[in-house]
A and B are shown apart, each in its own frame.
Chain A
């Protein structure tokens, strides 16, 4: 499936908002952009929140932690070498993750960085500058996100996602495909 640039950008932001959501309302707000305009009732949103926490947050051990280093390290852990790689990458952009204990390779942060790069690239007129931005985005997608997101998606898919969650995961998969094609 092929998506145009604007759509890929808005999907990245909606996915970012969904995976960084801390409550049902924030999740529900992100769903229309991810599932063809679908809106959720209060109960549906609450059930989605429970499921989201079961798959990605906890408190129990989660089947699909949304952190790159879980999939990229020889021995899965948070704050691994791959986490620091991403930190260095953000620093190159003049960016950092906010204060707090969330690892730099948290999926929403990576989507955020990708979206920023793409947005700037789309508005940039100089070929040379576009090339630089493109290279950075290429690294982020090809050398980093594409190396862990399939495993993340696979683990989530194997953990009995609801049809709604499966749709959202499919959207992430589609986005990844489009993001790879776009570079």
Chain B
């Protein structure tokens, strides 16, 4: 077989072709004259670009991308970041498979003959924008406002410039926004009540910890770059305890594993707090000088909590609770990593407050290597230039107080006469069904896959029937796209300019455009500009968004002196040499022990919390009562980030199908054998899947890892309802969602 080898031995015929007029005219020809003389390919000529993984992930990796001949060849973790430290996770390394997947959405398209008909027709960008603009103007004419137009967007593609999606909506007028977050809101509010903000230590300082509790997080799968700090701490003699209802990969690396009864973490923390109290291990200086309400809390503990009670509720032996508590107190510094999983409960916020209280009493707040670590937004002080857009003159909106629009809303509230209409992102289906005056008529979806991530999928399907038009901005044909009228192809991180920071570590990364967009993909701000052109063509002044945008310029406009100062850089261009880390006075948050609470101190007793309808003290709150024989947990899998990545061929090779994991005793009682096909069901729906038997899960628990498989209709949201978590409304605009308080039954089919 002869190869046309471009690296060596170029075939003779090419030399003669140019002079023979092969480039001459041919009727209807597609190919065009080459711009320059055929340049030989240089195998060594890699261009290196800086990228930043924009997934909703602790690690927010700094990426080095290698491009040759305009093609992304491979990626690696940036070695300059001590956090990313030259490596990516299994998902990150698969990026070239994502960019060059034949499955990518290539063109704007419209689905004719109804959603789900599969009858798709190509549109030019202009045609697509004309159809969309006509619909928006029609809604405005019918309703007198644009509140019938809704936006649902979350964390599918982070990057500061991508807040231009929200900007696009504002540039059209006052619209309906799905606000809040399914991720971490209960814990955010809890930390705000206790500390006055969510602000975690630098994760790199975990190496200094002498005792580490990883409580409801699975970094081995979901924050693999943090694991090296756990290992280093262990090497230096630290003990690591993992508390989780599932025996996770992280638990396998720990010294001690507590398989806690789900939703009983709060009781466990209170039991540990009581033991600190009993043993005289409370940090007196902290609770007396830097905190308020400790005596009331201690009183609560004495009257209501015993170690035996905590043991009974949590399933952890009392002797172990005592032993660990004493070891934790003795090991200074000691830290708890509070995972997002453990606050996705009806009592999630209360549980985080109990853990905060335990860490605070032990004297580990404001201490390097210590801390009740949850997350932070301390490095997110950008300009939000793309996000902050002005409504057109004369826009009419929702009359009344405007609430916060989510944890990443840095735009600040104005005192305008009108505002957007805020509805709960965690009840997408119900909100669409319930919206009145005006009804929701049109939904714009970007950076989000509601059919994979929003709750009660069957209800969502009913709700979508109410919508007159659904527009999805996507990279792949998800279930959401299937339920859309129009799909617009979106760029990947390698095809756009952006800038990214993390809610966990303290690094800042530039995201350069490394390759030209594949097919006809556009970035979110380019889409906004295209829509603005169509709107203004049809009705001058109907959209204030810039009609031409330059991605690089818009990225630069997000920087300000505050960011440059914080990261110690002169210009964004410094980031071309590698990511930069914030210059921190201390790796410990709250190192000055000046808290942002109303009292300025750590608040064991929070009047604000009481005012918002919860207990002032971090008291025990019982978790949601079971409604079916098994509790269902639907956490992340190693190979996916929510609905992303499992659709790629490399991931399919490792992870070809989903399973429900069940304890062998429970399986036996149900007559279920290894790899049997089963039905997991509740009152709202069912999932058909094969069973795997494992003692990693508790006898009354089932585990199904959430993921979107391109060839399967597996969807855990069929059986996850939209029951709210306790907290979250204060800082994120809507309470969280009790993802792990779900109950199902199972049977063999």
A181 at the interface (CB under 8 A from B): no
Contact B18 A93 (CB under 8 A): yes
Q: Mark B111-139, 1 if CB is under 8 A from A, else 0.
A: 01000001111101000000000000000
A150 at the interface (CB under 8 A from B): no
Closest-by-CB residue of B relative to A118 is B26
Contact B16 A129 (CB under 8 A): yes
Contact of B31 among A59, A83, A90, A136 (CB under 8 A): A90
Q: Inside 8 A of A96's CB, which chain B residues have their CB?
A: 31-35
The residue in A89, A90, A95, A139 that gathers the most chain B C-beta atoms within 10 A of its C-beta is: A95
Is chain B's binding surface mostly helix, strand, loop or mixed? Answer: loop
Report the minimum CB–CB distance from B90 to chain A (whole Å): 16
Contact of B121 among A49, A77, A94 (CB under 8 A): A49
Please report the C-alpha to C-alpha distance between residue A84 and residue B17 in the assembled complex, in whole angstroms.
Answer: 19
Contact A77 B101 (CB under 8 A): yes
B143 at the interface (CB under 8 A from A): no
Contact B487 A59 (CB under 8 A): yes
Please report the C-alpha to C-alpha distance between residue A31 and residue B10 in the assembled complex, in whole angstroms.
Answer: 38
Q: Inside 8 A of A13's CB, which chain B residues have their CB?
A: 26-28
Report the minimum CB–CB distance from A21 to chain B (whole Å): 9
Stretch in A61-69, A156-164, A168-176 with 4+ CB within 8 Å of B: A61-69
With known contacts A93-B17, A136-B17, A139-B2, A116–B29 Cβ distance under 8 A:
yes
Q: Mark A111-134, 1 if CB is under 8 A from B, else 0.
A: 011011101100010000100110
Q: Inside 8 A of B520's CB, which chain A residues have their CB?
A: 100-101
Q: Inside 8 A of A84's CB, which chain B residues have their CB?
A: 6, 41, 69, 71
Please report the C-alpha to C-alpha distance between residue A58 and residue B104 in the assembled complex, in whole angstroms.
Answer: 8
Interface size on A, residues (CB 8 A): 64
With known contacts A22-B122, A112-B26, A77–B11 Cβ distance under 8 A:
no
B96 at the interface (CB under 8 A from A): yes
B592 at the interface (CB under 8 A from A): no
Contact A136 B22 (CB under 8 A): yes
Please report the C-alpha to C-alpha distance between residue A65 and residue B119 in the assembled complex, in whole angstroms.
Answer: 18
Closest-by-CB residue of B relative to A129 is B20
Contact of A58 among B33, B97, B106, B650 (CB under 8 A): B106
Contact B109 A59 (CB under 8 A): yes
Q: Inside 8 A of B20's CB, which chain A residues have their CB?
A: 120, 124, 129, 132-133
Report the minimum CB–CB distance from A161 to chain B (whole Å): 15
Q: Inside 8 A of A75's CB, which chain B residues have their CB?
A: 97, 649-650
Contact B26 A97 (CB under 8 A): no
Within 41-65 of A, Cβ neighbours of B (below 8 Å) are at 46, 49-50, 53-54, 57-62, 65
Contact of A65 among B30, B96, B102, B518 (CB under 8 A): B102
Q: Inside 8 A of B12's CB, which chain A residues have their CB?
A: 132, 135
A79 at the interface (CB under 8 A from B): yes
Q: Inside 8 A of A133's CB, which chain B residues have their CB?
A: 13, 17, 20, 22
Contact A57 B122 (CB under 8 A): yes
Contact of B11 among A22, A46, A135 (CB under 8 A): A135
Contact of B34 among A57, A94, A120, A124 (CB under 8 A): A94
Contact B23 A101 (CB under 8 A): no
Q: Inside 8 A of A16's CB, which chain B residues have their CB?
A: 28, 30
Contact B17 A94 (CB under 8 A): yes
Please report the C-alpha to C-alpha distance between residue A117 and residue B39 in the assembled complex, in whole angstroms.
Answer: 21
Contact of A53 among B6, B21, B120, B474 (CB under 8 A): B120
Contact B31 A76 (CB under 8 A): no
Contact B518 A101 (CB under 8 A): yes
Please report the C-alpha to C-alpha distance between residue A82 and residue B22 in the assembled complex, in whole angstroms.
Answer: 21
Closest-by-CB residue of A relative to B122 is A22
Report the minimum CB–CB distance from A171 to chain B (whole Å): 17
Contact A112 B22 (CB under 8 A): no
Q: Inside 8 A of B109's CB, which chain A residues have their CB?
A: 53, 57-59
Closest-by-CB residue of A relative to B117 is A50
Report the minimum CB–CB distance from A50 to chain B (whole Å): 4
A165 at the interface (CB under 8 A from B): no
With known contacts A79-B71, A79-B100, A80-B100, A116–B26 Cβ distance under 8 A:
yes
With known contacts A59-B109, A101-B516, A119–B26 Cβ distance under 8 A:
yes
A98 at the interface (CB under 8 A from B): yes
5 contacts between A and B (CB under 8 A): A50-B118, A59-B105, A93-B18, A93-B23, A139-B11
Nearest first, the 7 closest Cβ-Cβ pairs linking A and B are A92-B14, A91-B38, A94-B23, A135-B13, A61-B103, A132-B16, A96-B34
Q: Which residues of B are interface residues toward A (Cβ below 8 A)?
A: 1-6, 10-14, 16-18, 20-24, 26-35, 38-39, 41, 69, 71-72, 96-97, 100-107, 109, 112, 118-122, 124, 474, 476-477, 481-482, 487, 516-521, 649-650, 710
7 extra A-B contacts, CB within 8 A, seeds A83-B71, A94-B23, A94-B34: A58-B107, A59-B120, A60-B482, A77-B100, A88-B41, A112-B30, A139-B2
Q: Which residues of A are interface residues toward B (Cβ below 8 A)?
A: 13, 16-17, 20, 22-24, 46, 49-50, 53-54, 57-62, 65, 67, 70, 75-80, 83-85, 87-98, 100-102, 108-109, 112-113, 115-117, 119-120, 124, 129, 132-133, 135-136, 139, 142-144
